Amino acid sequence: MGEQMAGSNVTIADVAEIAGVSKMSVSRAINGQPGLSEKTRQRILAVIEEIGYVPTIGPKARPVGSKLVALLVAGITTTYMGEIIRGVSNAAERLNYGLMLYSQGEERNIHRTSYYLSLLGSNQVDGVLLVVPHDYEAIINDLKQHELPYVIIDHHSKTGNEPSVTATNRKGVLDAMRHLLALGHRRIGFITGRMEITCAHDRLQGYRDGLAEVGLPFDPELVREGDFHQPSGFQSTQALLQLADPPTAIIASNDVMAFGAMDAIKAAGLVVGRDVSLIGFDDILMASQTYPPLTTVRQPLAAMGETAMEMLVTLFHGKPVLSPRRELGTELIVRGSTSPVAGR
């Protein structure tokens, strides 16, 4: 169904009919408004991704002379993405800009991405915000060809010359490592994200920095590559726990993979926080609601979205940004999933 409808004039009524809800409920799900159960919100967002609906977020009737910005994301069903979208939407409303949301879907969809890029290049939008999209380099090259201003969120170019807003990913993981090391842990496993994304590289570097601070060698056996999704956290943790000398603590590069790690630790008959300490990254809402509550590195997702929108408006006005790469501070949030190494 999604492939047939994607790219056609899909309306909010189509989404409401397929999801079995009212148009008001669809609007609430898109704009992050209260009044919906989490299950209903997720069902609506999944339908939006499947059929390729492109919602407009912002004033219903845009004033003459106002701008329209596109927000291109890899997927919209995660709390992580919802927080960034909320920040962008708040800034767009405050600055009187309209906002169009484009989702590639959780998996690569070449046809959908090509369709979106054709819209972006048809003078329907004045600039683009990108959140860790698939096929990043190809999208950036296309935007440059169309001379569209853009800002990248939670990713940056290797040169640091592209306009971007990220968190202090490297320092965030270094803080997590210092916490575990202070608790006596020395065998610490690490689960990366998608390694084509620079934030995953930065977080891995923070892990290596922590080892170097106390003179511990880097052991590639303790590192597993994940993809930011829960199943990869489960599978990676299973592999780590099956080592002849398994880790006493694990850091996952986002909270969602940490949830998968929790399941794997429990499936092995171990207790999270007692037998194996665990740290995530993001501090999404569910992190404080797991058992035990998850120790994690908080990154200011909504503030990153707001900052990126403000930076894009600066580019619209032809003004130089003070620094093309902005980093917002992270904070270690200690909860019940970490404790001194057993036997200490």
Q: What is the pLDDT, as a whole number, of residue 54?
A: 64
Q: What is the pLDDT, as a whole number, of residue 113?
A: 60
Rounded Cα distance, 306 and 91, in Å: 5
**Domains of the chain in sequence order:** 2-166+301-328 (3.40.50.2300), 169-299 (3.40.50.2300)
CA angle 169/171/175 to nearest 5° reads 115
Place of tokens 């047939």: 4
75, two tokens: 């997927």
How confident is the prediction along the chain (344 residues), in pLDDT tens digits per residue? 434 444 446 778 888 888 888 877 887 777 666 677 878 888 888 888 777 676 655 444 333 344 789 898 877 777 888 899 999 999 999 999 999 888 776 555 555 566 566 666 555 778 899 996 666 777 788 778 777 889 999 988 776 678 999 999 999 999 999 999 999 999 999 999 999 889 999 999 999 999 999 999 999 999 999 999 999 999 999 999 999 999 999 999 999 999 999 999 999 999 999 999 999 999 999 999 999 999 999 999 999 999 999 999 998 877 777 778 899 999 999 999 999 997 64
Residue 285 DSSP symbol: G
E-strand ranges in the chain read 56-57, 68-73, 98-103, 127-131, 150-153, 164-167, 188-192, 223-225, 249-252, 277-282, 295-298, 325-328, 331-333
Q: Does pTM surpass 0.85?
A: no
Q: What is the pLDDT, as a whole number, of residue 144?
A: 80
Backbone angles phi, psi at 32, to 5 degrees: 65, 30
Query: How many other CB atoms are there within 10 angstroms of residue 33's CB atom?
Result: 12
